Structure 1
Amino acid sequence: MRFWTGVGLIVLFIFLALNQGAALENQVKVAVTMPVLEAIVEDIGGEHVQVVSLLPPNVDPHSYEPSVEKVLESISKASLIVMSGPSHLPLEEKIRKLSEEGVIKTPILDYRDYENMGLLLLSVPGTGSINPHGYFFSFSGQRAIAKACAAKLSRIDPDHAEYYERRLGRYLQRLSALEERIKAMGISGMKVIIGGPDLQYLAEDLDLEIVSMIVKAHGIEPSTQEISKIIDLIKSGDADVVVVSDIEVSENSALLGALKENKIPYIIVPISELVDEPELIPLVTASLLKSSLERQVVGAEATGGFLDMVAVPSLAANLVLFTLTVLLLIKVRRYAG
C-alpha cells in the first residue's frame, strides 16, 4: 500500500511539474531595461507574462554598456522590449541602433509610445531640452506605460487580451485611489527646490511649485554657487523645502552636508527602496512633505528605511504606518490575479 502511495505522489509531482513547465513556456517573454518598468509590466501581464531585466543587479543604468552579443543573447527569447526611452540609457541607445539596423526585430516600447497614451514630456527648466528622466516615478508616467503595455500585450497575445485589459483597469483604479489620498494631504502648492530632473515629473504630479532645480542634468554635482542659491531661497521664504532623492544624496554627500549645516528643511525621497513598488513613490513623497509641513522639522528623511521612520513621533509615524498598510494591500491585490 505504501509503495503505491509513493508511486502516486511521484506521478502527481511529475504531472504538476510538466504543467508548470508548459505554463512558463506559454508565457509572453518581456525584456525591460529598468527595474521600475519590470514592476509595471508584471502588474499588467500577471501570470501570462515572464519579465526579464536586461540590467544586472546593483548596476547604475546610466553607465551600463553591455556588448552587442550580450544584448542579443538577453533578448533572444523576448516577444517585447520595454524601455524608458529610445536613447535615455546607453543600453537603450544600443538596442535602438540595432533595431534601426534590422538586427533586432522584436517590438519595442519607449516614451514615444507612452506619449500616445497620455504622457506629457516636460522640458528641463532653463535649458529647453526634453527631460527623459523620472517620468516613471509619477502617476502620469506609470499610467501611460501601463496603457501602452496592455495594448501591446493584447496584440502579441490576443487570447489573453481581456485578461490584460482587466488587470490594466484594476491598476488604474489603484493609482486613482492613491491620488485621492494624496489630494487629501493638502500639500498642493508647496514651493519646492528639487535636486534634479529625476524629480520634475513627480513634483508636477503632486501639484508642487518648482522654484528651482539644483542641477539640470544627471550625474552633475552642484557648485558652491548653486548650493548658496538654494540656501538663500529657503531663508528668504521663496521656497518651503528642498526635495532630493536618495540616489542624488548617495552621489553627492556634500549637498546633504550643506543642507544640514545651514539648517535647511529637506526631505529625501527613498526611490531606490521603492523601485519595485513605483506607485508608492508619489505617496511616500507626499507623506514626507506633509510631515515637513506640519512639524517644520529640518531633515525629515527616509534613507534609513521605513522602520527607522516609525520611531519619529506624531504625524510622521502615522503617515509611514499608513504607507506600509497601503503597500501590503497593493501586494495582496497585485498577486490576486
Structure 2
Amino acid sequence: MTSGPLLLEQLASLTAIRDLELMERSLLKTLYGFLRPRSLGMVRLNSKGQPTMEVAYREDRYEAFHDDLVLDEHVAMADEFLRVSDAKFYSAKTDSGVLIVFALTSTRSGRSYLQITLGKELSRMDSHMVSGVVQIYRNFVSLMHHAQTDQLTGLANRKTFDECVSRVHELIMAEPTLINPERRLPKSSSYWLVMVDIDHFKSINDRFGHLYGDEVLVILAQLMLSSFRENDLIFRFGGEEFVLIIRCADRADCLVTLERFRQRVEERSIPQVGHVTVSIGSTQMDRRTYPTTIVDRADQALYFSKRNGRNQITFFEDLLAEGLVSVQEIKTDAIAFFDPEEDEIES
C-alpha cells in the first residue's frame, strides 16, 4: 500500500486540479496506488437510477463507457442502501472478491459511485483513509461545481464550455485500448455543436422587465435539461444564448432531437410573457477541424436562422451545400458571435 507521505503528495495533486474529469482520474490513481485493488472504477446513474456512464481504471489507464450499460445488481443494491443510510460505504462478497461502493456525488440529475473490488474486506484503518480521500474529493467537486455553474439557470457557464469543447474534440474518433476486451466499443455516433438563441429577447426585457426576462431564461434551461439526454452538455453562453454538445447517430437523428426541443419551447406558455420561440444553428464536430472553427460554423447557422424568419433550425452543412457559406478555418480563440441586440430583426 502507498506510504503516508506519498499519499499526502497524491492528495495535494488531487486538490490542485480544477477539472472534474482530471479530478476523477486523480482520485482513481490515488486509490489504486493505495489499495492495489482487483478492479477499480466509477459509475454514474441518472435520476431514475439508470447507468449513464461507467469508468474503469488500471495502471494509469482510464476508460469510459456510455453505451449498452447494464447496472450490476450489487451496485443497484448499494445505490438503494446508501441513499437511505448514513453508512460511509456498502460492502458485498461477489465472485470477483469483496465489492466496496462509496457514494461520490448526488444532484437532482443523478448520482455517482466509486466501485472497488478487493481480495478481502477493508481494514478499519484503510476504510477511514479511503473515506477521508472520498470526502476531500466531494468537497472539491462541490467547490468546482459552484465555480463552473451559471448562477441564474444552474447550467454550466461559458468558462466551462471553453474548457469542455476542446476535450470533446479530442475524444472524436479516438480508439481506446480496452482494459476489458470483452467490453464493446460505443456504437458509431457523432457529436454536434448546437447554438440556441431566444427570439426577440431584448423586446421581452423592454416590455416586461428583466425579472420576467430572467424567468424566461430559467424556464428555457429547464426545458433543455428535460429535452436532452443527461450525457449531453448544456451551457449558458451569456445573455439569451445557449450552447449544447449532443451525441447523435447522424444528421437526421440530430434534427429530430432539435426539432422536438424547438416545438416544446414554442408550445410552452410563460406567465405574463406568453409564448416564446428559439432559433437554432448546428454543425457536426470533426476532429480535423479546429474547435473555434466548429463554434463559428454553428454561429453562422444560427445567424441564418435569425435572419430568415427565426423559430427554425439550420445546419451549417446545408448552407455549405447550397453555396450560402464558405469553409474557413479559425485557428485562434477569438470568435465574434452573432449579437441579436446589434442586429435586431423584426419578424
TM-score, normalization by structure 1: 0.33
More helix, by proportion: 1
TM-score, normalization by structure 2: 0.32
